[in-house]
Amino acid sequence: MAIFSKTQPAQDIRTENAVNKVVEIPINSIVPNPAQPRVVFDEYELSRLAVSIQQNGILQPLTVRRLENSTDYELIAGERRLRACKLLNMSFVPCIIITATVKDSAVLAVLENLQRQDLSFMEEAYAIKNLIDYYGLTQEETAARLGTAQSTIANKLRLLKLTDEEKAMVVKYKLTERQARALLRLESEKRPDAIHYIGTNQLNTAQTDTYIDELIKGKPGKPKVRRSWTYRAVNLYINTFNKTIDAMKEAGINCETVKNRTDDFVEYVVKIPLKQG
């Protein structure tokens, strides 16, 4: 794989046949893509990427398209790399110039991020909505361009029915996409408390569905959260309990224990004398 260092001399980007070849473009000539789906950029991760670029160069050129009647270029892929290069105060970055329409550029920008699978599902939903609204695509056209089912597009868009406060809470409590979509079954005034309960109790998808069903039925109180214990974890607690009993006996406490184990549970009866015999 070729490595493109920031120390490479600038090339004439107006030379013939520059399209689809790696050329260096002034960083100030690259403008953001209005369809960029990513809205959150981790500053720490950007700093790490900047250090890597400083030490090793850019391993993958950015992808851009030349804007009509302008000397500027629109970024299609490489937003994080571009931001990291700006942190390093680089003047030029290696790019591949492709020929693309405005609509194609937007679709490619979304695809590039979706294929990396590191967008949040909320960012995906906003990106799809921007494609539809800004470029006048139908859900069917969007699904075809993104290579997915129309039902998937519809489900993503449903998430945007949550209020901004609810979306922020969903992200804060790290709810899954299915859990966030299940919240739409509730009346809006019940959602914040529900998000808080689901998040703080770390409900899984099935537990979330059960909990929301109970809320819809109007049953008082909260459903019990059933914890899933592994056999190994249970034995760990049993061993700890046995060691506690042994320690009491070694200390001269003449306690009596009766252990009863069935397929469903382990029962201990412990008698601790209050007087020394």
Residues annotated catalytic, as ranges: 79
Structure-token pair, residue 147: 């290579």
Residues 6+ apart with CB under 8 A from 11: 23, 24
Structure-token pair, residue 217: 């039925």
Q: Which of 47, 29, 174 shows the shortest CA–CA distance to 97? A: 29
Q: Which of 222, 160, 217, 163 shows the shortest CA–CA distance to 191? A: 163
Q: Which of 197, 182, 185, 188 shows the shortest CA–CA distance to 166? A: 188
Q: Which of 58, 118, 63 shows the shortest CA–CA distance to 88? A: 58
Exposure b/e, 142-168, CB count within 10 A at least 16 = b: bbebbeeeeeebeebbebeebeeebbe
Residue 136 falls in which region: left (phi positive, over 0), alpha (psi -120 to 50) or beta: left
Structure-token pair, residue 44: 């720490």
Provide the H-helix boundaries in 7-101.
43-56, 79-87
